[in-house]
Structure formats: structure tokens, C-alpha cells
Amino acid sequence: MQLLLNALLFHLFFCASTYNNSMEKRIKRILSIAAVAAAGIVATAAFAVCAVFPNKYAHELNAAADEFGLDRVFVQAVVWTESKFDARAVSGKGAMGLMQLMPDTLTECATAIGERADGFDPKVNLRCGCYYLSLMLDKFGGNKSAALMAYNAGENNARRFLNGERVFPETEEYLKSVKRAEKVYDVFG
């Protein structure tokens, strides 16, 4: 962008003698070209952000977040961190779907909300994950970091972390990743 502006300014001031237009018209033209270039850069950046931070399953995600009283941006950030919005994702430990639920957790949550335990169905996975996340928020008094620690490392580990035990490095990174994604989705989501 800076290179383009420098070239345009050079052209304006050093090559202006080849034009019969007034200086004002040249300035307006340069500003118009710069505005178009800036808009192109912004559009490209927005496209890149959307490619890296997708918002697939927005309807299902919003419905599940609303059903369980969760902030939509928060849920988007959790889903991005857990699966990058890959409904078929499976972790090395067996967690599955968009919100990477372990089979036992999925079954318990599905039973509690009257759903079938299909971890690869985006709607089911999002409803179960949002239900579980809302439970963790309730158990930890609305403390998002504590709820996320419980979601990632288990409720018992989260309580140990809160009582002073060292947080697992994976869980520390998880918390940072959700917070970074939350900032992006807050702007672009």
C-alpha cells in the first residue's frame, strides 16, 4: 500500500507536467485510486480472516447458544478452537465433532436434553456442547476461564487448577486460543 502511494505521489509531483488537468483533479484521481486499492486490501484481509476463522453452521450454532444462554461469539471461539468448524473431527483421545465431546459426555448431555447421541451431527453436537458448556459456567459461577478449563481438562482438574495446582500446558494454550478466537469473532463473526 505504501509503495503504491509513493508511486502515485511521485507521478503527481514529478510527472504532472504531462497532464493538462488541474492539480485538484489529479489529487482527486490519486485519492480515488488509493481508496480503491485500500478497499481491495481490506476485502482481501476480510476474506482471509473468514477463511481462517469460518462461521459454518451459523444457524445451528446461534440456536444452540441462545437455547442455553451463551454468548454466540464465545461459542464460535470454542468451536474454532476445538475443531476449526470440522463436523467430522476426531481427536486422538476420541472426542468428536464440532465441540469435540467425549463419547460419555456426549451421551450424558444428549440424554439430558432429549437428543440422540450423534456426535457428528452439527446440530446435536452444538446443542450438547452448549449444554455442557452452560453447565460448566453454572458450576463455576459464570467464570469463563474456569468453565473453559473444565471443558478442556475436566471439572476435577479445573478445581485443582483453581486451588493453585499448575494448569496443564495444553489447557493454558487452549485458554489463550479461545480468547484469541473470541477477539476475532467479536470483530468479524
Q: What is the DSSP letter of 17?
A: G
For 9, the domain range is 2-52
- pLDDT tens for residues 131-189? 999 999 999 999 999 999 999 999 999 999 999 999 999 999 999 999 999 998 888 76
**Global pTM?**
0.74
Percent of the chain with pLDDT over 90: 67
Cα–Cα distance, 28 to 36 (Å, whole number): 12
Residues 71 and 114 in one domain: yes
In this structure, are 35 and 71 located in the same domain? no
- 101 neighbors 110 (Cβ within 8 angstroms): no
The reply to whether 92 and 112 lie within a common domain is yes
Stretch 47-56: mean pLDDT: 54
> Residues 115, 29: one domain?
no
19-30 pLDDT, tens digit each: 556 666 766 666
- 82 in active site: yes
pLDDT digits (tens, 9 = 90+) for 84-102: 999 999 999 999 999 999 9
Q: 60, 67, 82, 115: which one is catalytic?
A: 82
The pLDDT of residue 43 is above 70: no
Give me the number of domains the chain comprises. Answer: 2
- Domain CATH code at residue 169: 1.10.530.10
- Alpha carbons 105 and 141: distance in angstroms, whole number: 21
Question: Is the same domain home to 153 and 91?
Answer: yes
Burial 62-86 (b: 16+ CB within 10 A, else e): ebbbeebebebbbbbbbbbbbbebe
- Phi, psi torsion values for 87, nearest 5 degrees: -65, -20
Do 68 and 46 share a domain, yes or no? no
Sorting pLDDT into bands at 50, 70 and 90, what band is 55? confident
Q: Which is more confident, 33 or 162?
A: 162
Four-residue CA torsion sign, 103, 105, 108, 110: negative
